Structure 1
Amino acid sequence: MTIPFYKYQGTGNDFVILDNRTGNFTQLTSVEIANLCDRRFGIGADGLMMLQLKEGYDFEMVYFNADGNEGSMCGNGGRCLVAFAKDLGVIDKTAAFLATDGFHEALVKENGWVELKMKDVDKVEKFADHTILNTGSPHYIRWEKDIAKTAVFDEGKRIRYSPPFSEVGINVNFVQLHDDALSVRTYERGVEAETLSCGTGVTAAAIAASNSTIGQQEKKILTPGGELKVKFEKKSDTSFENIWLCGPATFVFSGTIEL
């Protein structure tokens, strides 16, 4: 089978995208998807997405981790898929689409950034040195004094496979607080490695680092792959609404591959 594909990235978080509006690629197996994401024997990506038709929406987002298994919500992936939908002519400047965690809105800005509305958060578990919350995907936030020295792969893997997370898995984010920004490095389940950026992860980090002020807040996020921004409305210490993940989403290249 010849598969036409598109490659997009959002702050270094890269994705293979398939236009599946005809349903031609619905039967791809997890092994085939993993091969497409393989950086040595395939195209190479942190994940694969399919853009599909869905009645009542501009499109549906179906996301697979690099291991070939269908994944939970991917924030940077969602932003890249919106950029792809605009490039296809499926949308203009706004999008209303369905993902695994429900309905999402998005805006394509003049500067090329895509702003994606994330799911509300109504549970934040705070512990002495870490915080756990779900922003469409589950995240473990650990605070660091010097993130450059953090052994992200070793520590991330240890936490991801430790009880009680080992069966389902959890994304592990290491976060350093600065005066005007947060630095975030992430070990992603499904990729089983550090990625250059994680959209749901930086969203979780921003919420976990929120100050005591009730109302609108905004955080600048620095990742190894670039800068993102998270905006949200704090209702209480455990309740957050109107959460927007904002950043670049860029076309890299397109081509065909034989399976």
Structure 2
Amino acid sequence: MSRIIAVANQKGGVGKTTTAINLAACLAEKGKKVLTIDIDPQGNTTSGLGIDKTELEHTIYHLMLGESDIEECILENIFENLSLLPANVDLAGAEIELISVESREFLLKKYIEKIKDQYEYIIIDCPPSLSILTLNALTTANTVLVPIQCEFYALEGLTQLINTINLVKSRLNSNLELEGVVFTMYDARTNLSLQVVEEVKKNLHTNIYKTIIPRNVRLGEAPSHGLPINIYDSNSKGAESYRLLADEVIDR
């Protein structure tokens, strides 16, 4: 049975796409069959995995509008064991075009149901907002993984997100659980990073991953080369951290 994990945070710039790409790639590296779904109109997961967004004929946008079959949209094995359901800027129009569609919060779930058993893990990269696209991800997922940047406002955004997850759980997806929180962009040289970690641990009664993702130059460079960190620089601290995170996800 596949595990479907939405990587979500209503705040932007917290390492969400970096986490979606590299967690998926490290799970694939460990021999797991993985599908990554890009449901963010910016399409950063798509380009971060080396796909030219402008050349795509079939994307998640065409799928949700019923213009393409899911088999046409999925790019199989772009890296070993790792497939992608891509997105590009077309998806920005989906919000308006889906307004009159019945059960529009469940469109993605309907399509993923058909193919989910072909994969052990499905990782969904959500937009940094609570939109119809994010709702589609949350109705499809079993769990939500929340990346948190080690900064002052982290806790504020997290409380908001947990309220959203609880609302979705009560109204749309009773099986949805919080997978856990992963700290990103950790800078060991600052007291603030340490304080944020301690503060969240103290106030949050949920799973917090032991693995903390550091600020790492190589992690920042990898997307511009269209490669996940474990391929771009296999020995970097970033690659090491995401492998440890993948181990923790598997163990859960």
TM-score relative to the length of structure 1: 0.26
Structure with more helix by fraction: 2
Structure with more strand by fraction: 1
TM-score relative to the length of structure 2: 0.27
